[in-house]
Amino acid sequence: MLGFILKFILTAALVYGLSMVLPGVALGGFSSALILVLVLGLLNAIVKPILKILGFPITVLTLGLFLLVINVIIVKLADFLMDSFDVHGFLNALLFSLALSVVNAIVDLVID
């Protein structure tokens, strides 16, 4: 349980840091980062599998590159659902989702 809480807080801190570093990404504060991590987790658990099933033919045709578009859709949905999180444009959402994936991988390696 402690590992989960540590991952959650560390991911929120890194999401807040990413919002400060990446252009076109605005976040209201650390409390907004905590809420964003929750929202992204829920969207990844509920919406992402549905999008993967619906987009499977396109994913096969593009050799998996369509999964990047699905990640952008998830980030833009989080942008739509939260007033304190704002991502301008497709490219900024793509950069944010790629950076967030790398950060999550590093957090998983360090914590586990």
pLDDT higher than 80, residue 112: no
Residue listed under structure tokens 């209201």: 28
Q: What tens digit of pLDDT does each residue of 38-68 get?
A: 999 999 999 999 999 999 999 999 999 999 9
Dihedral over Cα of 105, 40, 14, 20: its sign: positive
Q: Which two tokens stand for residue 64?
A: 């998996």
The pLDDT value given to residue 3: 84
Dihedral over Cα of 99, 24, 56, 36: its sign: positive
Distance CA 94, CA 85 (A): 15
- Written as one letter, the residue type at 58 is I
Distance CA 110, CA 112 (A): 6
pTM comes to 0.92
Read off the pLDDT band of 111 (50, 70, 90): confident
